[in-house]
Homo-oligomer: A and B are copies of this chain.
């Protein structure tokens, strides 16, 4: 409203209201409402008359008014770190698709892993009166979540990760510890002993779990762990590929011990790592095997195809959405923790260790 002085003001088109429909159909407004929402029986003839008028007028209920009255906006919030990361975009796509089918609209919130942003979005979404929200993040402020959970109309579902399972917010994820254990054992079975581990920050529970899985695999096979091969990022950030490249580059440049395999905690990290490895003159997988995590689409198309852990991303999205809709509809959700199956996908980026 800063400038009203643009002469070409848009002609204010007034869309038809429920009153218009009621009048033209010769019934009361509440009858129209009942006809539309099936909230009370309406005779067949009246119904027909009403829907004819609706068709003629191209009447569309005003969601704002509806929401104000009924406390239901058919809006849900989606808080994710980075929509430009295929891991999140694929989950998001699943969520959006399901929600759209169920008549909800999805408000997208991109945090760039910033805790302050998360808080701001949380506030914003409440103010938008979303019926619920799906939260994918590592660094949640649990107090804040609890407060929201209690003080607003908003239902919450976590996807992929949560820092604690001690509340009753549903979470859809996989068994990260098991997954990484599978991967590590797979490499060990290929004869690898010096296996580097490049991880995003273990401030996130999923990543703590994975590290645990890595270690457990060593323990169970009786191979000793070399801590100098474990590299943990300290800060969450968006440019995963670049970070994978940098970490690996630095590591290879200074480590006295060159591993025969590198495990990373995401496909993007792995893509960066492979580039760094090659630049140092090593071949993948002949000199060094590399593994990713997630199984994003590109993982199977890059060269060499990336050995990785497949997370059912789309399904995770769909399920999260489904659970949230149940919650919104007031249906009880028995299973608070939904743990989906992962799968080790062996491609060309890993091979049996060569004679040393």
| Chain A interface residues (CB < 8 Å from chain B) | 1-4, 6, 8-9, 13, 15, 60-65, 67-68, 73-75, 78, 82-84, 86, 89-90, 92-93, 96-97, 100, 105-110, 121, 123-129, 150-153, 241, 245, 271-272, 274-275, 278, 297-298, 301-303, 329-332
Contact B100 A93 (CB under 8 A): no
Chain B residues contacting A15 (CB-CB under 8 Å) are 151-152
Chain B residues contacting A73 (CB-CB under 8 Å) are 64
A65 and B65 CA atoms in complex are apart in Å by 8
Q: Which residue of B lies closest to A74 (CB)?
A: B128
Q: A2-B329, A298-B271, A330-B3 are known contacts. Are A110 and B83 too (CB-CB below 8 A)?
A: no
Q: Which of A86, A105, A275 is packed against the most chain B CB atoms within 10 Å?
A: A105
A-B contact pairs, 19 of them (CB 8 A): A6-B331, A13-B152, A60-B123, A63-B129, A64-B67, A64-B73, A68-B68, A74-B128, A83-B96, A84-B93, A84-B297, A92-B108, A96-B108, A100-B109, A100-B110, A100-B121, A241-B298, A245-B301, A275-B301
Chain B residues contacting A331 (CB-CB under 8 Å) are 2-3, 6
Contact B83 A89 (CB under 8 A): yes
A30 and B109 CA atoms in complex are apart in Å by 32
Chain B residues contacting A271 (CB-CB under 8 Å) are 298, 301-302
Contact B241 A301 (CB under 8 A): yes
Chain B residues contacting A107 (CB-CB under 8 Å) are 75, 105-108
Contact B110 A108 (CB under 8 A): no
Contact A1 B330 (CB under 8 A): yes
A4 and B275 CA atoms in complex are apart in Å by 57
A63 and B64 CA atoms in complex are apart in Å by 9
